[in-house]
Structure 1
Amino acid sequence: METVTARPYSEAQRMEMRSLVNLAGEVIAYYWPMRTFIHHNLLHGLEYLEFEEAVQQGQRFLGGRPYLPNEVFRDYFRTGRIRIEEVDAALQPFTQDKTVLVGNTRITHLEVLRAHLLQGLTAPNHMHQPEAGDPSSEDAALATLTDRLRTILPSSDHQAQVQTAAEADIQALGHDMTVSAWCDRVLGTRIVEQINEELIKWCGAFVDEDHAAWTMPARDLSLYTVWKQLAQHDFSSAFLGIPDWKHKIQALPERSEDSLLMYLEILGIPKALWEDYLSLHLGTMPGWTGFIKWRAEETGYEWQERYPVSLVKYLAIRLFYEGELVRDACRVKLNITGDYPALVAFMREQPHVYSLRQARVTGSLTPEFRRQVDRLRYGSPRDRHAAWRMLADRYHTHLHVEDEHKKCQSHAWRLLRLADMLQIPPQAMIDGAPGELQVLLRWLDDFPETRHGPVWLQAFEAGYRQTLLETLKPNIRKSFSATDLGQGSVAEVRPLTQAIFCIDVRSEGFRRHLEEIGGYETLGFAGFFAIPFRFRPFGSHHETDQCPVLLKPKHIVREVPRAYQSLEAEKHLAGKRFLQTGHQLLYDLKENVITPYVMVEAM
């Protein structure tokens, strides 16, 4: 059984780890408490990047979708919100001055990209098998072109493709994917979900701000320390299947930096990948980590001063669970140690087995292969090593024959859809020169649908700008006409009503529509009059910021009674204490476990 032994680390190593976590946390945006919450921009920490790079980083670390689905943009095009001129302008940077001849029609590179963008020339995953027959029928054309492409397109090296896919995942491991996510993808585990559930439980109890009826004990010791104390008495680790869990938690270092360093080394993560690896973990639950980041960096925040929390402490707990769960899963299912070097060696030495296991988790196996894989999955990995290799070789031999036909059929479908978009007879595409057909397919492959989002957004924004300018143009013309006629000095009509709004994007639409009715004038004011300060009411123990959450006040204003108001002040405090006592009593009764039984008996 594997044991955990605390290792000594220098203060310099701890400082380096804290700095590394700060860098890794740049991808996480602040998340304010709900009482001061206004909006949450997940890309706030990436605003120094170009937009496309920022959304790519957001997708990589936070798992979000950077653009609207292509079908939504296509609906905008069909309804006229995006026009063909804007599409062509957005495609211009991607086009080449090249053409191909199909039949009597010369096709430009722009036409191919435009058709792909507007229609989405990606073959569906499941296609019915057409039968040869009447050459005028759609199915017959698909079958004929499929047969012709078999003789034109070079046969793919399936072995090399499997190896290439494994090498791509090797490069992604630690850079775009954690080892726990790898186990979920390959072994069908729920490690990421299990870790999230544990962290939500512990973080929710720790960062509570007097809402819970039963508060977490010893919170003043910091998140990591109190977790280390209490987790020894929590049987969740046993339910997760962590062997010798109590002893392992007891043996953890006292410092969260030491524990984080230790588990990065236990997992064998190369030091060059540490920053990206920690960013991936922080991005798994950006709401919790965003709030922890804000609270740790908010100087003077009373809850942070009483109950300190930081991203280092959060990550130390998270990597403990990951290290133990991943090592146990890999030992049981693969008979390997479950660290980065072992996973890389498995993918490199057994790419076919790796691919077969992934196919089982994604559900892409046939029923027969699924049954055979399941029989091996629930056997001993030590005894079934050779059987896995034999089954993987059979599967990929079967897959190679099937994939060759599917590949040619998919390419034929794309070419026929392209011909339909460009109003070219199907027979012309079927009879096209081999070189020309290969060029068309290469153009389509070089512009996959995953790259359509930025182009669509560019066209959509161009259309919006044009529509906005056309809407403003009549008013601008009126203004110039009045000036030319010498009417610029005419006194303005006094508005019927003036309305004051906060300077906020959420108010702009209301202000604009209100002014369009006529007779109304709206004014915008900053609610704090550009003087950020903190205010403490008389008799209160807490201060509140009287400014937007993005600002940090440097001044504190306290409400105090005048010297001759001592009697009124005492009455105010007595009334406030009475209300607080009543509120606390009602709250305690609502949360007390005995109250429901007493209420039933009383009724």
Structure 2
Amino acid sequence: MNAHVQFPSTSGALSAPSRRQEIENGVAKACSRIAPLWPLKHFVAVNPFLGFADQPFAATAAALRRVAKIDMLAPRQFYRAAIASGVIDDAALAEALARAPQDIDRPADVAALKRAVAEDPVKNSRPPAAVSTVAEILDALADGDRQASLVGFMIEEISKWCAAYFDEGQASWRMPQRALAPYAAWRRTARFDLSAEAMGVANFRKTVLSLPEDPVETIQAVVEKLRIPPRAVEDYLLRTLLDIGGWAAYARYLVWNSELKGEPNDTLVQLLAIRVAYGYGLFKARTDMAFHSAWARAMTEAVSTPLDHRLNGDPDLAVDLILQDAYEIAFQKKFYARLSSRREARLDAPRPALQAAFCIDVRSEVFRRALETVWPQAQTVGFAGFFGFPIEYVPIGHLRGGAQCPVLLKPAFTICEAVEAVSPAQERRILDLRLLRRRAAKAWKAFKLSAVSSFAFVETVGLSYAVKIVSDSFGLTRPAPDPNLDGLDPRVLARVGPRLDPRVVGERTTGLDAAQRLAMAEAVLTAMSMTDGFSRLVLLAGHGSTTVNNPHASGLDCGACGGHTGEANARVAAGVLNDPGVRAGLRGKGVFVPEDTWFLAALHDTTTDEVKILDEAAAPASYRDDIARLKERLAAAAALARLERAALLGVEKGPATRRKIVARSRDWSQVRPEWGLAGNAAFIAAPRARTAGLDLAGRAFLHSYDAAKDEDGKVLELIMTAPMVVASWINLQYFGSTTNNRVFGSGNKTLHNVVGQLGVLEGNGGDLRTGLPLQSVHDGKRFVHEPLRLNVFIEAPEAAMEAVLQKHGNVRALVENGWLHLNALHADGRIRRFHALGDWRDVAAGRQAA
């Protein structure tokens, strides 16, 4: 290295163990900032800012700009258009300005704020990133020659390696080094990989192989060799992870799953070592003065102390944050007015004709309102769609299943699918047939895709697929078969269901014993505030989505069921609650379920709004007329719900509405079979009487909660620590995918290619993409989702909510750091907003309805 280049001082006289500990702390902090990415088979919404929840929303916006030049707010023109259209008025701007901290560089008044809004931020005026990467410096020295981008090349190479290493069965030929830990496997591969040297990176293999074999030691060695200032180490490591943010997020998911099981997992640390080593290989390849002078300057600039709480002296960021607040204030005033207009009615009503429990998912709000319209004597209930049963559900013929519960939880029970009323020998024959069909399908697929036989396949039978292609294209047939029909004779399918009885399968105990069933039943009914007043029929409706040719299909299923449909949970819950032994046990605990009450499982298809009754044949014959009437009312509600959704889908209302919506669910070219949870903006935990009759436009998560039945506050604690947090995850994923889809979303879904059966690439390379496709939040002309932080409304004593916040630091951080807005509903219609512990203030409602 040239002797005239001066670097800032590093950590000095620290001992070797102290340096190791310092690096481990920096690594742990950087890795903790990465949010997990669930694979496609159970893709669920994740808060992309999860790792920053311990600091304020505004400080996170500043930190992401400082560390990686990432914007987490909408572009300035978005807010400018909202002001021009009247969505944001002067009153909202004034209130947002008044809320802004006094110690930041901000406009003096509304007039000054509006002058700032009229101008786009000056390009390159923001402070430089806290610490640069080697590849970034090299790209800058390339003077804009993007064909020679080493950032892009490095990301591409690491991404290709990750795709091969983490592959879950898509590749025909598997990487032979997969048995090794990631960093060791990458080093083994690097011995033979000439790609970097072909790009002009001299001695790349020799350089990376000269680094230690231990991943943490490698990170420490590179930090020291690059002369990263101590206070910039965490920023540097986070910045390098963000370069491969998609694969880092998948590695974080693997770590998350291991943590749920109490097992160690350093996959993300290993991936960080790969990325750091790659950067060092680029560094060592350059010996010229221009590069080393630029690197020395970058390290000198990295010494500056972060000022995230002061927004790093960035007036443009201060303006954008004020505009975001104003945008949310304008929405809140309208929503406050809508909720305040409704007074809760506590009337002694006769026995309801039906009680129907739906998931709190915002799509259920539309159907619940439709059902209550066509059947006023029915009551609907909102509860997390896994119905309180955290199970692993193993489909028939499988050894392992998927977690049918929120990803915050670990499955507590394993339930196996089985064929009812057959002998073990008959069940074995059915299983053997199913496995045979699977193996035949797998062999046929391998033949079609192999390197040699694929050509013979196309030449020989390619034209025979013409009829199938035409029928699929016109929506006459399904491009893919229903997975529920996998190898089962349709005559047998009706007899397949969850086996609840305890038994040992291999090394695992499956099913539920009598004590577990009783405990779960009591917990579920208490959590739903459903401990009396039962109707003759109680419907438990899980939900799922119908779509084809959609890698993110599981993201449209039930997030509370771990990215699966809610069918299994609804059937298990109904089976337990119909158990005579459970009923007797409940009476001993003061919960009296009438003898003539029958729990019925169902599945709500959120794409078509069809509701399918499950296990109908198991119901006693005396319920035949009740179920027939239920089907009629569900069909009428579905028709009403479809009419409401049709406008947003661009489907013409009329006699053909149902046919067109069903066709969308079968159309392999349809990029928007439904809108999912787009538009979500509120979470309401209160008796249904608080919101019944209000048109919430499918924008609210509705959780039933009666504080009068929750004397010890346990149900409130459960709601605030689980459903509310999950709703916030969903809300913030939609927020990030809307404000900056390039970073927090997955881009254009028409360009997606599935990689490793894990995730998608946009195009044929680059990093693994996270978040939602652009088409999930944008209709081609405008954003359908509004980037609003979740507005939470709970009808409960303020002191009880504060007790939950004080007990659970992660929930308190979400509220106090501004990741969601917490409000208390009062019986007299007042709404009071949380500002700090002991500080709740009445809100002012606007005149216009939301």
Q: Secondary structure at the match of 1:575?
A: helix
The whole-number CA distance in structure 2 between the counterparts of 1:506 and 1:341 is: 54
The whole-number CA distance in structure 2 between the counterparts of 1:584 and 1:12 is: 54
Question: So what's the TM-score if we normalise by structure 2?
Answer: 0.45
Q: Which residue of 2 aligns with 1:576?
A: 434
Match 1:81 to one of 79, 83, 87: 87
Question: So what's the TM-score if we normalise by structure 1?
Answer: 0.62
Please tell me whether residue 522 in structure 1 is matched to residue 380 in structure 2.
Answer: yes
Instruction: Confirm or deny: 8 A CA contact 2:27 2:234 kept in the other structure.
Output: yes
Instruction: Give CA-to-partner distance per residue, 1:544-601, whole Å, 9 cap, x none.
Output: 2121222112443456899993312431332133122202201211220112332355
- AA aligned opposite 1:78: A
1:342/1:494 Cα in 2 relative to 1: closer, same or farther (>3 Å)?
closer
- AA aligned opposite 1:323: Y
1:345/1:25 Cα in 2 relative to 1: closer, same or farther (>3 Å)?
closer
The whole-number CA distance in structure 2 between the counterparts of 1:20 and 1:346 is: 19
The whole-number CA distance in structure 1 between the counterparts of 2:342 and 2:253 is: 45
Match 2:139 to one of 184, 187, 199: 184
Q: Which residue of 2 aligns with 1:367?
A: none
- AA aligned opposite 1:315: L
Equivalent residues, number? 430
Instruction: For residue 510 of structure 1, report the CA deviation from its aligned partner.
Output: 4.8
Q: Secondary structure at the match of 2:358?
A: strand
Q: Which residue of 2 aligns with 1:268?
A: 227
Instruction: For residue 245 of structure 1, report the CA deviation from its aligned partner.
Output: 3.0
Q: Which residue of 1 aligns with 2:663?
A: none
1:58/1:565 Cα in 2 relative to 1: closer, same or farther (>3 Å)?
farther
Larger CA Rg, structure 1 vs 2 = 1
Structure number with greater CO (CA < 8 Å, separation at least 6) is 1
Please tell me whether residue 586 in structure 1 is matched to residue 543 in structure 2.
Answer: no
1:300/1:81 Cα in 2 relative to 1: closer, same or farther (>3 Å)?
closer
Instruction: Confirm or deny: 8 A CA contact 1:222 1:309 kept in the other structure.
Output: no
1:235/1:309 Cα in 2 relative to 1: closer, same or farther (>3 Å)?
farther
Q: Secondary structure at the match of 2:409?
A: coil
Instruction: For residue 186 of structure 1, report the CA deviation from its aligned partner.
Output: 4.4
Instruction: Give CA-to-partner distance per residue, 1:239-291, whole Å, 9 cap, x none.
Output: 22221233334434322222222222221212332212101111223221111
Instruction: For residue 345 of structure 1, report the CA deviation from its aligned partner.
Output: 7.4
Match 1:49 to one of 52, 55, 69: 55
Instruction: Confirm or deny: 8 A CA contact 2:137 2:295 kept in the other structure.
Output: no
The whole-number CA distance in structure 1 between the counterparts of 2:430 and 2:98 is: 71
Structure 1, 72-81 or 524-533: larger mean CA deviation: 524-533
Q: Secondary structure at the match of 1:548?
A: coil
The whole-number CA distance in structure 1 between the counterparts of 2:269 and 2:181 is: 11
Instruction: Confirm or deny: 8 A CA contact 1:268 1:340 kept in the other structure.
Output: no
Q: Which residue of 2 aligns with 1:136?
A: none
Please tell me whether residue 501 in structure 1 is matched to residue 385 in structure 2.
Answer: no
Instruction: Confirm or deny: 8 A CA contact 1:18 1:312 kept in the other structure.
Output: no
The whole-number CA distance in structure 1 between the counterparts of 2:220 and 2:350 is: 70
Instruction: For residue 326 of structure 1, report the CA deviation from its aligned partner.
Output: 3.2
Q: Which residue of 2 aligns with 1:465?
A: 332
1:459/1:248 Cα in 2 relative to 1: closer, same or farther (>3 Å)?
closer
The whole-number CA distance in structure 2 between the counterparts of 1:46 and 1:17 is: 20
Please tell me whether residue 255 in structure 1 is matched to residue 255 in structure 2.
Answer: no
Instruction: Confirm or deny: 8 A CA contact 1:113 1:447 kept in the other structure.
Output: no
Q: How do 1:359-508 and structure 2 match up within 5 A?
A: 448-476=315-343, 489=347, 491=349, 499-508=356-365
Instruction: For residue 197 of structure 1, report the CA deviation from its aligned partner.
Output: 0.8
- AA aligned opposite 1:56: A
Match 1:29 to one of 31, 35, 44: 35
Instruction: For residue 494 of structure 1, report the CA deviation from its aligned partner.
Output: 5.5
The whole-number CA distance in structure 2 between the counterparts of 1:75 and 1:88 is: 18
Instruction: Give CA-to-partner distance per residue, 1:89-145, whole Å, 9 cap, x none.
Output: 22235699xxxxxxxxxxx9535424424533x7989xxxxxxxxxxxxxxxxxxxx
Instruction: For residue 24 of structure 1, report the CA deviation from its aligned partner.
Output: 0.9
Q: Secondary structure at the match of 2:47?
A: coil
The whole-number CA distance in structure 1 between the counterparts of 2:421 and 2:268 is: 47
Q: Which residue of 2 aligns with 1:322?
A: 279
Q: How do 1:52-71 and structure 2 match up within 5 A?
A: 52-61=58-67, 63-71=69-77
1:580/1:76 Cα in 2 relative to 1: closer, same or farther (>3 Å)?
same
1:256/1:556 Cα in 2 relative to 1: closer, same or farther (>3 Å)?
same
Instruction: Confirm or deny: 8 A CA contact 2:35 2:48 kept in the other structure.
Output: yes
Match 1:310 to one of 264, 267, 270: 267
Q: Which residue of 2 aligns with 1:292?
A: 251
Instruction: Confirm or deny: 8 A CA contact 1:31 1:291 kept in the other structure.
Output: yes
Consecutive unaligned residues in structure 2, runs of 5 or more = 3-14, 304-312, 462-850
Q: Secondary structure at the match of 2:191?
A: helix
1:474/1:533 Cα in 2 relative to 1: closer, same or farther (>3 Å)?
closer
1:261/1:473 Cα in 2 relative to 1: closer, same or farther (>3 Å)?
closer
The whole-number CA distance in structure 1 between the counterparts of 2:194 and 2:51 is: 37
Match 2:186 to one of 227, 245, 261: 227
Instruction: Give CA-to-partner distance per residue, 1:443-487, whole Å, 9 cap, x none.
Output: xxx9944321121122222221221222334433xx6xxx8xxxx
Structure 1, 521-530 or 580-589: larger mean CA deviation: 521-530
Q: Secondary structure at the match of 1:299?
A: helix
- AA aligned opposite 2:48: L
- AA aligned opposite 2:52: L
Instruction: For residue 201 of structure 1, report the CA deviation from its aligned partner.
Output: 0.7
